[in-house]
Structure 1
Amino acid sequence: MRLTHRKAVWLMLAVTLMWSIAGLVSRQLTHAHGLEVTFWRSFFTVLTLLAILPLWQGRGVFRHIPWRDTSLWLSGVCWGIMFTAFMFALTLTTVANVLVTMALGPLFTALMARFALRHKLPVRTWVAIVVAGAGIVWMYGAQLNFGKAAEGGSDGLLIGSLIALIVPIAGSVQWTVAQHQSRRVATDKTAAEIGLVPSVLIGAILSSLVTLPLTLPWQADVTDLGWLGLLGVVQLGIPCVLAVFCARVLKAAELALLGLLEVIFGILWAWLGAGEAPGANALTGGLLVIGALAANEALGWAQQNKDKRNDSPPPSILS
């Protein structure tokens, strides 16, 4: 698959749209709850990737995966944590809270890269961190009053929000590991072709194995399994593979900026499809978070383009 820049942008929009249906679909479940939702979603993702990988790279794809690579397994563990925490958080708090909390991922990744890879952070990123942090405090301020937990159930919302926070933290480790491996991938054709998909498979397997003992006896009926299969195939398996193709064409700043659309799409799906209207705190705090992240990524992208123009040699008078 060869993509132009424009096609990659449209494909990434489709990826974020598929990612964003998790909250809406989870609200359609009638019998499956808690970790059982996580198990079935991860299980169907495993089946999807076991089918996609051989179709994509041939039957010998599993022989080419560097199973002894520590980074591969670290990345897989991070994926497993994200899969498990994300769906569990959706059962405890609102879709808006989960998705806006996940929008902190690009900033957490920048911080992780600063300390692990010694990448310097520009001033604009520090400003974005402060603004986004203020948005999160505004969103969850009403939930931090534990004295009202018994009256309004804010204790469960707070726990769900804290679990959701695990997702961008694990994601920051995952993408830092990917950056660390980029040089080896650049010189290894097979690794470059396979990309991050094997670690996604490992994460889905780990998530399934960890949650399986905690989900018995199963409560999901046939309808629930249909919805959960949709999550595993359409919401996770397919878009993760497509995102690998997009990452070969789009810059990191573009990917992060486009990825924020998952938050917007997810809240809109939950609002229109499940009647879950975000509260005033979620809307105003979410606008602060998304605005800070979008401004940070957009300014970074503009600065990169400016640097490229300044570094390009002047045209020759003979040309």
Structure 2
Amino acid sequence: MKLTHTKAVFMMVAVTLMWSVAGVVTRHLQNAHSFEVTFWRSFFTMVSLLVILPAWQGRGVFRAMQWTSPAFWISGVCWSVMFTAYMVALTLTSVGNVLVTMSIGPLLTALLARVFIGHRIAPRTWGAIALAGLGIAYMFGSQVNVAAGNDGALLGSLVALCVPMAAAVNWTVVQRSQAHGEKIDLVPSLLVGAVLSTLLTLPLAYPFVATGPDLRLLAFLGLVQLAIPCIFSVISARVLKAPEVALLALLEVIFGILWAWLGANEVPSAEVLIGGALVIGALVGNEVLGWRSRVRQRCGPTPVAIRPSSLE
């Protein structure tokens, strides 16, 4: 699937929209909680990928997987960490604390891409990363202060830190493999991540208490909230730079707040609205400036009119 830069941006926006439904969906679960939610979500993601991958890439997709490629396994482990660490962190500290910790993802991604790939980070992207990080921190700063006195808050933050770290490594691995001309399809590594997350959380999820409606909602999460958008995110990362992918991924926070507002009657505070405006402004500004830069490069330098000298 070949994408232009603009189409890749819109695809990542759609990805964050699908990622963001997890919060509002889990509000409607009856009995399932914590590790059981993580287990069933990863399990249904694994089942979905076992169906989607051969239907999309043919029955030989599993034989064609790059089982000997380090990049393939690194990406799979990163997906497993991201699938698992977020839910574990939520069991230890507040949602706000987790999200503030995750907001450093774009900065980590930019630094890794600069060190290991040699990407030049445009000043506009650095500015957007800083502004978006401030917006996320402002939205949930009060919640972090409440959790500061909790002994579990530090451990929860350290677990949450695994999510942006794994994401930064994952996007960097994807782009490094592309930059070095390696013909490696990292989309199947999603399956490795789902399998690892399922196996890791299985002992912690027992005994199962999920009801039939719970399982239907968790199956929806496995397919629509993880399997499909994660495939699209890998495809987008073939076109977008790693820091840009991470920056766009922050939209998940904004969409998640809107879903909770519309679907669970959780009205956002003024701090959330102001912080969300900063995040969206940073993303829009970064994309608009990038689009103008690409237009100028395609059109070339503006010709300068030569006026005749007054002495002629």
TM-score when scaled to structure 1?
Answer: 0.78
Aligned residue for 1:197, secondary structure, equals coil
Number of equivalenced pairs: 301
Task: Return 5+ residue gaps in structure 1 as ranges.
Answer: 314-319
Who is 1:275 aligned against? 265
Who is 2:276 aligned against? 286
Query: Structure 2 residue aligned with 1:308, among 270, 290, 298?
Result: 298
Contact persistence 1:257–1:297 (CA under 8 A): no
5 Å matches for 1:170-189? 170-184=166-180, 186=181, 188=183
Shift of 1:157: 7.5
Contact persistence 2:78–2:167 (CA under 8 A): yes
Query: Structure 2 residue aligned with 1:264, among 254, 259, 266?
Result: 254
Shift of 1:181: 0.2
Contact persistence 1:24–1:270 (CA under 8 A): yes
Shift of 1:220: 1.2
5 Å matches for 1:19-38? 19-38=19-38
Alpha-carbon distance between aligned partners in 2 of 1:244 and 1:304, rounded to the nearest angstrom = 23
Compared CA separation, residues 245 and 297, structure 1 to 2 (3 A): same
Who is 1:84 aligned against? 84
Alpha-carbon distance between aligned partners in 2 of 1:236 and 1:44, rounded to the nearest angstrom = 9
Alpha-carbon distance between aligned partners in 2 of 1:54 and 1:78, rounded to the nearest angstrom = 22
Shift of 1:119: 2.4
Aligned residue for 1:60, secondary structure, equals helix
Who is 2:74 aligned against? 74
Shift of 1:300: 2.8
Measured against aligned partners, the alpha-carbon deviations of 1:251-298 in whole angstroms (never above 9, x if no partner) come to 448866765543333221111101122233333233323423432343
5 Å matches for 1:46-65? 46-65=46-65
Aligned residue for 1:29, secondary structure, equals coil
Alpha-carbon distance between aligned partners in 1 of 2:275 and 2:2, rounded to the nearest angstrom = 39
Alpha-carbon distance between aligned partners in 2 of 1:281 and 1:40, rounded to the nearest angstrom = 34
Task: Return 5+ residue gaps in structure 2 as ranges.
Answer: 304-312
5 Å matches for 1:194-213? 195-213=185-203
Compared CA separation, residues 276 and 100, structure 1 to 2 (3 A): farther
TM-score when scaled to structure 2?
Answer: 0.80
Contact persistence 1:100–1:263 (CA under 8 A): no
Contact persistence 1:143–1:157 (CA under 8 A): no
Compared CA separation, residues 160 and 223, structure 1 to 2 (3 A): farther
Q: Which amino acid in the other structure matches residue 57 of structure 1?
A: Q
Shift of 1:49: 0.5
Shift of 1:215: 1.4
What's the C-alpha RMSD, in Å, of the aligned pairs? 3.4
Compared CA separation, residues 311 and 236, structure 1 to 2 (3 A): farther
- Identity value in percent: 57
Query: Structure 2 residue aligned with 1:226, among 216, 219, 232?
Result: 216
Alpha-carbon distance between aligned partners in 1 of 2:97 and 2:269, rounded to the nearest angstrom = 10
Aligned residue for 2:37, secondary structure, equals helix
Compared CA separation, residues 80 and 120, structure 1 to 2 (3 A): same
Compared CA separation, residues 257 and 60, structure 1 to 2 (3 A): same
Alpha-carbon distance between aligned partners in 2 of 1:93 and 1:147, rounded to the nearest angstrom = 7
Alpha-carbon distance between aligned partners in 2 of 1:302 and 1:53, rounded to the nearest angstrom = 37
Contact persistence 1:254–1:297 (CA under 8 A): no
